[in-house]
Amino acid sequence: MEQDLSKTNNVLIKFENVGKVYKTGQITYEALNNVSLEINEGELVVLLGPSGAGKSTLLNLLGGLDSATSGRIIFAGEDITSFDDKRLGQFRAKDVGIIFQFYNLVPTLTALENVDLIRELGVEIMDPLKALEMVGLGDRKDNFPSQMSGGQQQRVSIARAIVKMPRLLLCDEPTGALDTNTSREVLKLLQDQSRVHGRTVVMVTHNNLFADIADKVIMVKNGTVFDIQKNENPKDADELNW
């Protein structure tokens, strides 16, 4: 088992009565309602819930991809709901790594260039090739996304997220487009980020099984958090079977 650097019990993220309402023409839709929660530094958190429950909205607010309609979101002691667009961008650039369900790589850049792209944000990064090697793709650095499998693309996406050594990794259905074996590999990589590198990893999924590898499971339904469970003995990703 890898060395566990997580669970420092320092609160990294705090949601205080956060709400989010979408308006389209005459129609308003309440995606989140009065959500309060805490996530500690180094934890691997799984956001579980059915489709339309509000998981992705929660993740977007957490990563500064969207702004809350009400309430406060505190990250490392700073209220990110008070940030303007520029400051939010800096927050995402420095502190947040994002992994998407469909990888969202730039199709006209190679694997290495996709990772190296982060250098252009002006933040401190590790060697992009090393990041690729960490996800096992050192030998595919010159391949374009269209020349790689879904699993490989997702690993490039992880390399792109971790190259800047962020405090928070956000993963939106990271295995949603992958087969079982590839999914397990990706989950292992994410778990390592938490356990080995001490990063906070928040993962949105609708797959209940993934709850087993999490330190904390936040259950979302109809825009509210209806349960938060702590997992004292999370499984290794390798042990998952589905």
Which range in 108-116, 178-186, 194-202, 228-236 contacts other proteins by CB under 8 A? 108-116
d(CA 72, CA 47): 19
Q: If we measure between CA atoms, which residue out of 48, 35, 89, 95 comes closest to residue 208? A: 48
d(CA 56, CA 74): 18
Which range in 9-17, 88-96, 178-186, 205-213 contacts other proteins by CB under 8 A? 88-96
| 198-227: contacts with other proteins (CB under 8 A) | none
Which range in 46-54, 59-67, 74-82, 133-141 contacts other proteins by CB under 8 A? 59-67
Instruction: For residue 236, give the DSSP letter.
Output: P
Q: Does 230 bind other proteins (CB under 8 A)?
A: no
**Interface mask (CB under 8 A) for other proteins, residues 144-183, using x and -?**
----------------xx----------------------
Apex 123 CA angle, 111 and 129, nearest 5: 30
Q: Which of 5, 11, 123, 165 binds other proteins (CB under 8 A)?
A: 123
3-state helix/strand/coil string of 171-219:
EECCCCCCCHHHHHHHHHHHHHHHHCCCCEEEEEECCHHHHHHCCEEEE
Q: Give the footprint of other proteins on this chain (CB under 8 A).
A: 24-25, 56-57, 60, 63, 65-67, 85-86, 89-94, 96-98, 100, 102, 104-109, 113, 116-121, 123, 160-161
